[in-house]
């Protein structure tokens, strides 16, 4: 195969994408976040960031017509791609007919039993990455499901809306830092791989995107006595961003317990007049353990 013919064979080239769409009479559903990538360099960057090899597996969420799937199949030992849109299933099977290491799973990733799927598809492999150009309308629920279910993943490399990626990677002190930053950084080390202009998709979304790599930690960077309560505390501290910690926590513990908050915050080394966006993970951990120990909220 010549270089020229190889380029046209790549699913994610602009011409091949248009040909596939025309051949199958496919129409995009905005409600499913369908924006297909047509830039080989970006596809290569996404796949490269996952550090795959033939001993590893890749779980793709939302393969579309298979642009990323095809590149994943050439790097990974096995690829499983979960697609919700039943109109895309026969197209994917056809387009990827020559890539035997790909399994297409029809379903909604938010409803699937992912541990069972991973066990079935990736048993015996040396590690699994999630690699995806995610549908933007469900980015956070999908990522939180992957993290909260504590799936045995090495890393997650995803294209998401630029602002969401920046929030995930944000450090304390800035306006982008919030409960999403804390949740993501509790489970992972985030790294912004690149910013992607909206021109590399068809149809073009209204916003720019970014590729983010989330390397799963072996264990969280802070010890907490009760994980669910830790996350409730974090949510409470960010409930109203312009309010101080003391005011946000008053709503959490009840007005009757307001007087107890000052000494409790000070025992954790936290000035009650600070805002949630200035607290580190270690400070949130100390605060949630102290609230729990004090029996708050009652
Ligand atoms: C942004 S497109 C990416 C398509 C392709 N991977 C690409 O990069 O060109 C998102 C894909 O996710 C699919 N999708 C949307 N919601 C989904 C869900 N809940 N579960 C699985 N797939 C979903 C859409 O149908 C679409 O194919």
Using the 8-state DSSP alphabet, how is residue 202 labeled? Answer: E
Boundary residue ending a domain (197, 216, 235): 216
Same domain, 16 and 78: yes
Q: What is the ipTM of this complex?
A: 0.99
Same domain, 142 and 232: no
Same domain, 189 and 239: no
Boundary residue ending a domain (216, 251, 280): 216
Same domain, 210 and 240: no
Same domain, 145 and 184: yes
Using the 8-state DSSP alphabet, how is residue 33 labeled? Answer: T
Beta bridge partners of 188: 216
Nearest CA to ligand 1 atom 27: 64
Mutate to test the pocket of ligand 1, among 18, 28, 30, 32 (most ligand atoms within 8 A of CB): 32
Whether residue 132 is contained in a domain is answered as: yes
Which CATH number fits the domain that encloses residue 180?
3.40.50.150
Boundary residue ending a domain (165, 184, 216): 216
Q: How many domains does the chain have?
A: 2
Q: Are strands 36-37 and 201-202 parallel, antiparallel or unpaired?
A: antiparallel
Same domain, 175 and 200: yes
Nearest CA to ligand 1 atom 17: 84
Same domain, 173 and 240: no
Q: Is 32 in the pocket of ligand 1 (CB under 6 A)?
A: yes
Q: Of all helices (H) and strands (E), which one includes residue 245?
A: helix 245-253
Same domain, 188 and 234: no
Distance of CA 109 from the midpoint of ligand 1 (Å): 10
Tokens of 90: 């026969």
Domain that holds residue 184: 3-216
Q: Which of 70, 183, 77, 190 is nearest to 133 (CA)?
A: 70
Whether residue 119 is contained in a domain is answered as: yes
Q: Mean pLDDT for each consecutive 10-residue tract of the chain (298 residues)? A: 50 96 98 97 98 98 98 98 98 97 98 98 97 97 96 97 98 96 98 96 96 97 97 97 95 94 96 97 98 93
Whether residue 29 is contained in a domain is answered as: yes
Q: Which atom of ligand 1 is nearest to the CA of 34?
A: 2
Average pLDDT, the chain: 95
Mutate to test the pocket of ligand 1, among 63, 135, 202, 208 (most ligand atoms within 8 A of CB): 135
According to the model, what pLDDT value does residue 51 have?
97
Q: Which atom of ligand 1 is nearest to the CA of 82?
A: 21
Q: Convert the pLDDT of each residue in 81-116 to its tens digit.
A: 999 999 999 999 999 999 999 999 999 999 999 999
Q: Is 114 in the pocket of ligand 1 (CB under 6 A)?
A: no
Nearest CA to ligand 1 atom 11: 62
Q: What are phi and psi of 76, to 5 degrees?
A: -95, 160
Give CA–CA dist 165/153, Å, rounded. 19
Same domain, 28 and 168: yes
Whether residue 51 is contained in a domain is answered as: yes
Q: Are strands 128-133 and 57-61 parallel, antiparallel or unpaired?
A: parallel
Q: Of all helices (H) and strands (E), which one includes residue 216?
A: strand 209-216
Same domain, 169 and 195: yes
Which CATH number fits the domain that encloses residue 289?
1.10.8.100
Same domain, 282 and 178: no
Whether residue 81 is contained in a domain is answered as: yes
Whether residue 221 is contained in a domain is answered as: no
Whether residue 135 is contained in a domain is answered as: yes
Same domain, 207 and 286: no
Q: Convert the pLDDT of each residue in 214-261 to its tens digit.
A: 999 999 999 999 999 999 999 999 999 999 999 999 999 999 999 999
* CB-based burial, 185-219: b 16+ in 10 Å, e otherwise: bbbbebeebeebeeebbeeeeeeebbbbbbbbeee
């Amino acid at each position: 195969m010549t270089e020229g013919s190889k380029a046209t064979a790549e699913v994610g080239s602009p011409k091949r994408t248009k040909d596939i769409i025309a051949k199958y009479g496919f129409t995009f559903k905005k409600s499913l976040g369908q924006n297909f990538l047509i830039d080989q360099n970006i596809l290569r960057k996404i796949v490269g960031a996952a550090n795959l090899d033939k001993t590893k597996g890749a779980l793709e969420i939302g393969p579309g017509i298979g642009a990323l799937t095809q590149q994943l199949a050439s790097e990974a030992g096995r690829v499983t791609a979960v697609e919700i849109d039943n109109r895309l299933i026969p197209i994917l099977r056809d387009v990827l007919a020559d890539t035997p290491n790909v399994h297409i799973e029809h379903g909604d990733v938010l409803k699937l039993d992912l541990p069972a799927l991973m066990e079935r598809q990736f048993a015996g492999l040396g590690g699994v990455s999630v690699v995806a150009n995610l549908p933007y309308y469900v980015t956070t629920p999908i990522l939180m499901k992957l993290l909260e279910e504590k799936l045995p993943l090495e890393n997650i490399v995803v294209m998401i809306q630029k602002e969401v990626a920046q929030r995930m990677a944000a450090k304390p002190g800035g306006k982008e830092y919030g409960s999403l930053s804390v949740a993501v950084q509790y489970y992972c080390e985030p790294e912004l791989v690149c910013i992607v202009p909206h021109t590399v998709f068809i149809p073009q979304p209204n916003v720019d995107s970014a590729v983010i790599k989330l390397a799963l930690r072996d264990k969280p960077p802070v010890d907490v006595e009760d994980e669910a309560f830790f996350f409730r505390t974090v949510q409470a501290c960010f409930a109203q961003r312009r309010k101080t910690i003391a005011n946000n926590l008053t709503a959490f513990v009840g007005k009757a317990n307001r007087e107890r908050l000052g000494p409790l915050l000070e025992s954790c080394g936290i000035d009650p007049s600070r805002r949630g966006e200035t607290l580190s993970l270690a400070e949130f951990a100390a605060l949630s353990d102290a609230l729990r120990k004090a029996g708050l909220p009652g």
